[in-house]
Amino acid sequence: MQADNILIFVNVKGDPYDEGSRELFGVLEIPNDLRVNYLKSTVIPYRGKRKHCILAVPKYRAVDLVSMDDICDTLNNVETNVTELGLESFSIAKTDKIDDGLVGYDCGGSSMNTSTLSLLDVGECKIANTPPQSETVNIYLLQPAEIIQVHVMECKILINWNIQHCGMHSHTSLVLYGRREYYMDIDYNKCKRMHETGSVWLFDRVPFYELKMNSTSHRLAILAGSQSMGGDCEKGTFSDEYGTWSGVVVDATFEITLTEYETALNTKTNEVMLRSGTIYNAEKLTCVTSDGMSAFWSEVPKDSCLMKYAQLYHGPATKLVGQNESPDIYSLTTEDITFALAQRGWMDVCGHTDYRQSAPPEEMSYGKLSKQLEDHQQEDPRIKLHECLSGETLVRLRNREVRDNSQIDPPLAKN
C-alpha cells in the first residue's frame, strides 16, 4: 500500500479515527500541527513527492453521525484532488473492522465512480411455493441411554434389646452393657426370602410374619427368659456376637423395613444411585446404605444392545418429505407429546437402520412416555450429601414409584 497514493479519513484536528489510518500515521510521518477543514480534503506529498496522501474529513468530531450528504461532499473534494494531481490510482487504509462496508471504488479511470446501494427499495423476491408432501409413518424415537433403570431390593432390621437380671422375688436390675441397638447383617438370599414370603426368623426362635412391602414393621419379642404382665420373671441365658448373659430376661424391639424400586444406573460412570442418596459401583451389585439398608440390584447384561438406548416414543408420526435437498421432517403434536425432528443421516442400531435426528431429546416436550423417561424428568434437583459406610460420596435423588410385582435377578457369586 505504501507504494501507492493513499486516502486516509481524519477529523478536523488531523487525528485519524479508524485503526487503518492510525497505523499509517506513524509510517508516513504526518505533521502533528496539521489542520484540515470540515468536509474538505488535504493533499500531502510523500516518498519524495512521487506519491500523495489525501486526508479527507467526512465528520467534525468522533461522536458525530456521518450523513450521506457529508460523504458525497467529501468524495467530491477527493475527486477534485485526484483530477488535479492526475493520480491514476490510490489505496484506502482499512482494517478488519470496516471490511464489511458496502463501499465500492472503481480505480480503472481517471475519475471516480460512486455506486449507491438502496436498502429501502428492495425488489420483488420470487420464491417457488411448493406444497410439502406428507405421509403418516410408524416410528421408534430412541436416544442413547446414558442413564438406564435397574431394579433394587432393600432390607433392614434394626434391633434394640434390653437385658435385665432376674433376681429373688422377680426383682429385676440392669446388667453391664445390657442395652444395645444395631443393624443386623443381611445377605442377598435372606433379603430375597423376606421379600418373597413377607416373613423372617430371628435368633432361630423368633418368627415375624405379614411384613409389608415398602413400609416399616415394628415388633416386640422376648429373646431369653420370660416375664409376665404382673412383673414376674424367669431366668434364661442369652448369647450373641456381643457376649453371653445368664440368669437374665431379654426383651427386644425390632424395626423391619422392606423396599423395592427402580433406580438410575449411569452407564458412563458405572454407578448406581440408590433411593437413600447412596452412589455406588454398579458392578458390586450390593451396598449398605447410609440409613442402614442392605441393598441389592440386578446386573445389566454387558452385551445387551437395546439396553444402550431409551425408547422415548413409539407410534405414528407425520413425515414431511424434504424439497430441493432439504431434510425430511418427522413431527407429532398431541396432548402429551410434541416434537419435530429433521433427518441428518442414518446409523445401524441393533441390526436396524435408523435415522439420526437434529434435535436432542431435551429440546422436546414429553408427557406420558415410558416409565424410564418420566423418572429422569422427575428427578429432584436439590442435592443432599451423606457418607456411605465404605466412605463413598452420596447424592440425594428423588424417590421413584415402585413397579408392581417386580422381581430382582440374583447377583453373581454372592454368598
* pLDDT reading at 319 higher than 50: yes
pLDDT, position 368? 33
Average pLDDT over residues 364-378: 38
| Residue scoring higher pLDDT (171 or 379) | 171
* pLDDT reading at 390 higher than 80: no
Residue 389 pLDDT class (50, 70, 90 cuts): very low
Say how many CA atoms lie within 13 Å of 150 toward its Cβ.
29
Cell 519524495, located at residue: 48
* pLDDT reading at 238 higher than 80: yes
pLDDT, position 65? 56
pLDDT, position 37? 53
- β strands within 83-214, DSSP E: 91-92, 133-144, 147-166, 172-183, 200-202, 206-208
68-111 residue pLDDT tens: 666 777 777 777 778 887 777 777 755 444 344 444 444 555 55
* pLDDT reading at 56 higher than 60: yes
pLDDT, position 255? 95
Average pLDDT over residues 19-25: 67
* pLDDT reading at 409 higher than 90: no
- Percent over 70 (pLDDT), the chain: 61
pLDDT, position 153? 95
pLDDT, position 95? 47
pLDDT, position 366? 33
Question: How large is the C-alpha radius of gyration of the chain?
Answer: 43
- Contact at 8 Å (CB) between 298 and 409? yes
The arrangement of strands across the sheet holding 329-333 comes to 133-144, 309-321, 329-333, 338-349, 352-357
Q: How crowded is residue 171: how many other Cβ atoms within 10 Å of its Cβ?
A: 11
- Percent over 90 (pLDDT), the chain: 18
Query: Which burial class, exposed, middle or buried, applies to 316 when counting CB atoms under 10 A from its CB (0-12, 13-18, 19+)?
Result: exposed
The CATH fold assigned to 6-98 is: Leucine Aminopeptidase, subunit E; domain 1 (3.40.220)
Distance CA 21, CA 292 (A): 76
> Phi then psi for 83, rounded to 5 degrees?
-70, -45
pLDDT, position 258? 96
Three-state DSSP state, 25: helix
> Phi then psi for 296, rounded to 5 degrees?
-135, 135
* pLDDT reading at 225 higher than 80: yes
Residue 397 pLDDT class (50, 70, 90 cuts): very low
From 13-17, 172-176, 267-271, 390-394, the region with the lowest mean pLDDT: 390-394
- Contact at 8 Å (CB) between 377 and 364? no
* pLDDT reading at 295 higher than 80: yes
The highest-confidence range among 27-41, 51-65, 197-211, 373-387, by mean pLDDT, is 197-211
Long-range CB pairs of 137-140 (<8 Å, 24+ gap) are 137/316, 137/317, 137/318, 137/319, 137/330, 138/315, 138/316, 138/317, 139/313, 139/314, 139/315, 139/316, 139/317, 139/330, 140/311, 140/313, 140/314, 140/354
Query: Which burial class, exposed, middle or buried, applies to 18 when counting CB atoms under 10 A from its CB (0-12, 13-18, 19+)?
Result: middle
pLDDT, position 262? 92
* pLDDT reading at 166 higher than 80: yes
CATH 3.40.220.10 residue window(s) in the chain: 6-98
Mean pLDDT over the full length of the chain? 71
Average pLDDT over residues 163-179: 83
* pLDDT reading at 61 higher than 60: no
Cell 484536528, located at residue: 13
From 142-146, 279-283, 331-335, the region with the lowest mean pLDDT: 142-146
- Return the C-alpha cell found at 298: 440386578
